[in-house]
Chain A
Amino acid sequence: MNDDDAFDEEFDELVDFEGGALEEELRQAAGVLDPLPPALLQVAIDAYALHDLDARVAELTFDSLVDAIPVRGVTDAPRMLTFSAGEVMLDVEVTARGLMGQVLPPQPARIEVLGGPGSTVPLTADDMGRFSADTAPSGPFALRLHTGEDVVVTEWLRA
């Protein structure tokens, strides 16, 4: 790490000589013409509330966007997602019309659709572990699943 830093700094001296001033000017231009919007800074600060010690994180193990071969001509294929946390799995399908899912192994569960800090919509999975919602999540979302005493939250994703 220290070696790398020293290496970087050597380069910097070169760049300072050849283009460092130009880069700094460009940095200032970005600060004026393309700054981080203050509202986004605030959303990220508020996101601390999403730090949830009680829940296990269900990792994304399949995403049709990445892992499936696109079908030619199909332009509104559903987004298929699979999340896993140990023995609990969650299959989710997101379309323009809504969201459908399956808890595995099949079991009833209380589910919350999270849309950000402070935004939740409650759902219920039936005895077969099936659940659905009429509106598709817009923007970042996660599902929090309560089964018995276990709480599992899916990795945050963009629908």
Chain B
Amino acid sequence: MRTGAVPSTAYHDVPYTRGGTVERSEVGALVRSAVDGDAAAWKAIVEGLGPLVWSVVRAHRLSDADAHEVYQTVWFRFAQHLGRIREPEKAASWLASTARHECLKVHRNARRLMLTDDPQLLDRVSEDDTPEQSLLETEAAREQSERVRRLWQEFEELGERCRQLLRVLIASPPPSYQEVSAALDIAVGSIGPLRQRCLRRLRARLEARGAA
């Protein structure tokens, strides 16, 4: 709000590139419109950035119930702070960092209360099938489904740091490095090399599995 306003004409001809540049360049203007009472602008923000918030929450390995509540808390608080966000164009980073803080609180609370449902033990892939998954099965796309399943399983077993980084990076549309940095509290400069390394490791695991 205090930084230079995004010219309203700027986002009509911005081509889509990685980082969800269309939304990200629009975000400041959308936040301002939402502050002024434009519900459609709010909806566009939620649709554009909801998947990022979900990815950040998922990266932190919470139980499903906790994940849902954190997701809601983040958006409730964002709605509440809407007119007070200092840099509306960085709303995505605000959301990512708020999500991270709330996830860390859940971890603290869980340790204190010594809850036993250890999300680490969750094997999401072999748990209940999502509707999408069932669809894959019935469409005789068994082979493709199996490939997705293997990929996801290797990803889940990648080790905490890589799993976390990749879970945020594979939000759709892909987040910018500034947002990843806000989501995981890691330096922007270290994201590229880490990302390469984690993808290399994932590929190696898939190849080892294929060879076995």
Q: Which residues of A contact B (CB under 8 A)?
A: 4-5, 8-9, 11-12, 14-15, 18-19, 22-23, 25-37, 40-41, 43-45, 47-53, 57, 63, 65-66, 70, 75-77, 79, 116, 139-140, 142, 153, 155-158
Contacts and interface: CB of A to CB of B under 8 A. Distances in A.
A79 B113 CA distance: 11
B120 to A, nearest CB: 16
A36 B51 contact: yes
Contacts of B13: none
A30 B170 contact: yes
A47 B200 CA distance: 40
A9 to B, nearest CB: 7
B80 A142 contact: yes
15 contacts: A11-B195, A15-B196, A28-B148, A33-B152, A40-B54, A41-B47, A43-B75, A48-B34, A51-B79, A57-B80, A70-B112, A79-B109, A140-B73, A156-B76, A156-B77
A142 to B, nearest CB: 7
B90 to A, nearest CB: 9
A116 B76 contact: yes
B155 A29 contact: yes
Contact of A5 (B69, B108, B152, B176): B176
Contacts of B155: 26, 29
Q: Which 7 A-B pairs have the closest CB atoms?
A: A19-B199, A156-B76, A44-B75, A11-B192, A36-B54, A27-B170, A50-B79
Contacts of B125: 33
Given A51-B34, A66-B108, A139-B69, A26 B170 contact: yes
Contact of A32 (B78, B82, B136, B192): B136
Interface residues of B, number: 69
Listed residue (A26, A48, A51, A155) with the most chain B CB atoms within 10 angstroms of its CB:
A48
Contacts of A36: 50-51, 54
Contact of A51 (B80, B109, B133, B167): B80
A155 B78 CA distance: 10
B71 A33 contact: no
A142 B80 CA distance: 10
Given A27-B172, A140-B73, A32 B148 contact: yes
B183 interface: no
Interface string B144-155: 000011011001
A53 B82 CA distance: 9
A12 B199 CA distance: 13
Contacts of B199: 15, 18-19, 22-23
B34 A77 contact: no
A17 to B, nearest CB: 10
A118 to B, nearest CB: 12
A45 B130 CA distance: 23
Contacts of A29: 148, 151-152, 155
Contact of B17 (A4, A9, A155): A9
